Amino acid sequence: MSLQVQVDASLKAYNSFGVEVRASRLAEARTDSDVREALQYSVEQKLPLLVIGGGSNVLLTGDVRALVLRMASRGIRILVDDGERTVVEAEAGEVWHAFVLWTLEQGMSGLENLSLIPGTVGAAPMQNIGAYGVEVKDVFEGLTALDRQTGELREFTLAECAFGYRDSLFKQQPGRWLILRVRFALSRIERLHLEYGPVRQRLSEQGIEQPTAKDVSRAISSIRGEKLPDPAMLGNAGSFFKNPLVSAVHAAQLKRAHPELIGYPQADGQVKLAAGWLIEAAGWKGFREADAGVHRLQSLVLVNYGSATGLQLLALAKRIQADIQQRFAVQLEMEPNVY
């Protein structure tokens, strides 16, 4: 077997919260063969298989009795390029932001609004990651996944992925599909999405009146860099809670009681509320108990100041959820996967 397996391995370096837990087994998959060997090994050892990418969307609450497989495959290929439309395929282990920058350097636009999002390419469709008016589904062309039940490869189209707000078929069927590579439909003709005020404001501050896709990427990276702490310096998993969807009636009631409430009407008639506003309005911004806390600049971000355990961070998240439910009758949903 070519797969290298570590026994009783620390996962501190493989989760962006920097939580110290250990895995029964740890391996890296650089090829499809590695993935198949890992599946076989987990069966032989009677261990569950837990697949991670950059570890930026997980909260580990204790030692993991499993084979933890870290996707480390690399490779980017241009499959279609007619001078206007391009299709680019990237392996699951590619670092997301580095991939975004690569596409921009190649003169392709479409991913610029998703700059500086942590994680890997393979994890992006799982959550249907999104920012500043763009989601993965908007530029998605297809992906290749391994069915862990049958061992067969399957190609997925946009419709088959069942993308929703921070949701997908792959999240709805945890443990079934292992994403190997993803394809994106990009363009050499720039069609920029500048609907969000902060992006236009940052470009204006920089004196940029006719921005390029690279300008938008740099502006968004600048905004995110100011709002979100670097996991290498302060353990976190980015936005911890989804922006909740409520009925228009409920949103109107909240707006009357809280005129400053931030909400975005949706096409289906619901209203997406800013979870960060709710948490800050409830007084949690900057809260700290031992080494588990809420970031002082961005109330959507839970942070590990050093030695917080996953259970301590989870307990804090649940306290925030209960408080928001009591104050606003709104249920906050966690974004990270909890193990």
Q: Measured at the alpha carbon of residue 323, what is the angle toward residues 318 and 326, in degrees to the nearest 5?
A: 125
Q: Which of 42, 168, 239, 299 is catalytic?
A: 239
CA 42, 46, 51, 56 dihedral sign is negative
Radius of gyration of the chain (CA): 20
Contact at 8 Å (CB) between 56 and 118? yes
User: Are the C-beta atoms of residues 157 and 202 closer than 8 Å to each other?
Assistant: no
CB 235, CB 17: distance < 8 Å: yes
Active site annotation includes 166 = yes
Query: CA nearest 7: which of 69, 71, 72, 67?
Result: 67
Q: Report the distance separating Cα 269 and Cα 265, nearest Å.
A: 7
Is 24 annotated in the active site?
no
Active-site residue (options: 25, 166, 181, 202): 166
239 annotated active-site = yes
Give the residue numbers marked as catalytic.
166, 239, 335
